[in-house]
Every structure is written in C-alpha cells, then in structure tokens.
Amino acid sequence: MVASRSPVNSAMYMIATFVGMACLFVLLDAFFIAVLQILVYAGAVMVLFLFIIMLLDMDQREDLRHRTIPSMAAMIAFGLLLVIVLGFFKGKFEGEHLVEVQESASIAQVTDAQKWESGSSLPYSTKAKTFGYGLFSKYMLPFQVTGILLLVAMVGVIVISKPHKAKGEEAEPEEVL
Amino acid sequence: MSIGIHEFLTISGLLFSIGMFGVLFRRNTIIMLMSLELMLNAVNLGLVGFSRHNNDLDGSLFVLFIITVAAAEVAVGLAILVTLYRQRNSVMADHLNLLKD
C-alpha cells in the first residue's frame, strides 16, 4: 500500500487492507466493530479519499529514488519499531488461547447500579446492545464530547473549504439553486 | 480456537510499523493521511484484541471513539489538502514550504 506509485492504486490496496482488518475483527468475535469498520472506513473514508484524488487530478508521480536520507531514516525507524514491538510481545502471551465468550443471560444481570459506582467494567460481549449500554451509561461524557467534536469538525471543514475571498472584495451572495 | 492474542498483537504491530513507514517515506500528503489511518486501525486491532483477552468491554468501546475521531480527522485533513492544492497546485510535502523561508 505505501509502496505503490499511483494514489488510486494505493487507495484500492487500502480498501483491501480494511476489509482484511474487518475479517480479523470477526475472528476476535467483535462483529459490531467489524461491521462498523466496513461501513465507516471502506464505505465513507475511502470514498472521501478517492473523491479527493479524483478532484485534485494528481498525475505527478513522486520520485522516490533520489531521497536517500529520508528513506534510510524511514527504513531504520520501521525496523526498530518492528523489532521493539515484536520483541516486547514475544513469549508474553505465547500459547494463551482466547476463551469462549460468555454471553450473559440478560443485560440487567451485569449492569446493576452498584457495580457502576465501583468503576467496574462490562464483560466482553458480541452484542451491539451491550455496546449501547456502555456508551450511554459509563461513557456518557466522552460520547457527548465526541458528538461536539464531530460538529466542530463539520463546521471547520465548511469554513476551510469555502472559496477564499480577496481582501476588500465585496462578498458575493451565494447562488441559490 | 487455536489462535491467541499473540498473533493479533503481531499483526497490529506490523501494520503500525507499515503505517509509520508510509508517513515517513512518502511525500504525497494524501498517502501520508492514508498511512495515518492505517496506524489508527492497527491500534484498534490491538485494543480489541486486549479487550477480548481480558474479557472487558472498555477497549471495544474505546475503539468506537477512535473510529469517530479518525473520521473527523480525515475530513478536516482532506479539506486542508484541497485548500493547499488551490494555493500551491500540488499536494507533495516538498512543495509545502511556505513557512520555510
């Protein structure tokens, strides 16, 4: 993905990566997140990327050959990070298999008010209902902050992508369709 | 099941390294943004893996927030790119040297 010259090819490989990642989420019994991954990343984000690539019409290929120092630095950083990460986990979780998901009989069973007071967490579940419960009880404040963040991002994008008016020029009224 | 958390953490670390390599190596800003997305996704995979391993839903809930923030970040980043392209007629990071001189 990072090695292909054309941005469109890169985006296509990226979509394949996201679909493969969704398969990994299914292997982890996280079905809700797998569906979300396909919808948000492969559906929305990559369409946005492809749209921008199409809009900007980039035919300029970057020349990667004459940049020895940055590519050497990138190679070294890549190898170092890989060795550190893999070495850190080596032998730590070796041979530990994932246990079967214990679905609780009812959601009320695990979500009584006393347990939330003590700051305990929900057990892992494959149901989207449990996700909703967690979002709307324990993570209520981060959930609302995320909503405000989306609003700010939306307003910011609109302001940024408005055509820039030169100073002193009268602002023309927007055309009404 | 015969696979454990170790395999997922390995894949997660590998994808994160590839993403960081892409950010450092490429000069095309759109591909740098894509590599950022790849890094966020690798972190998501690690979080879900640990969440599954520890039988705790908190990691999976955190992934939802990460996905939301990543989507917002991509939208803002691409809007900035479009504005930059209008001004400089290029999206290569080498040409974005307005603050340099």
Q: Which helix (H) or strand (E) holds B87?
A: helix B58-88
Distance (Å) of CA A138 to CA A64, A82, A142, B57:
48, 35, 9, 11
pLDDT at A82: 82
pLDDT at A120: 61
Q: Mind listing the pLDDT tens digit of every residue in chain B (101 residues)? A: 457 777 888 888 889 988 988 888 888 888 889 999 999 999 999 999 888 888 888 888 899 999 999 999 999 999 988 888 888 777 777 777 777 76
From A21, A28, A130, residue closest to B52, measured CB to CB: A28
> With contacts defined as CB-CB under 8 Å, which chain B residues touch A7?
28, 30-31
Q: Check CB contact under 8 Å for A40 and B61.
A: no
pLDDT at A104 over 60: no
pLDDT at A105 over 70: no
pLDDT at A5: 78
- The DSSP symbol for A68 reads H
Q: Which residue has the higher pLDDT, A113 or B35?
A: B35
Q: Over the stretch A130-158, which tens digit does the pLDDT of each residue have?
A: 888 888 888 889 999 999 999 999 999 99
Spatial distance between the Cα atoms of B33 and B19, rounded to a whole number of angstroms: 10
Residue B28: CB partners within 8 Å, gap ≥ 6? A7, A58, A62, B91, B92, B93
Read off the tokens for A27: 């292997």
Supply the pTM of this predicted model. Answer: 0.81
Question: Which spans in chain A are helix H?
Answer: 7-27, 31-37, 46-56, 68-89, 107-110, 113-117, 128-137, 140-160
In 3D, which of B33, B100, B44 has the Cα closest to residue A2?
A: B33
Q: Check CB contact under 8 Å for B57 and A135.
A: no
Rg (CA), chain A: 24
Structure confidence at residue A65 as a pLDDT band (50, 70, 90):
low
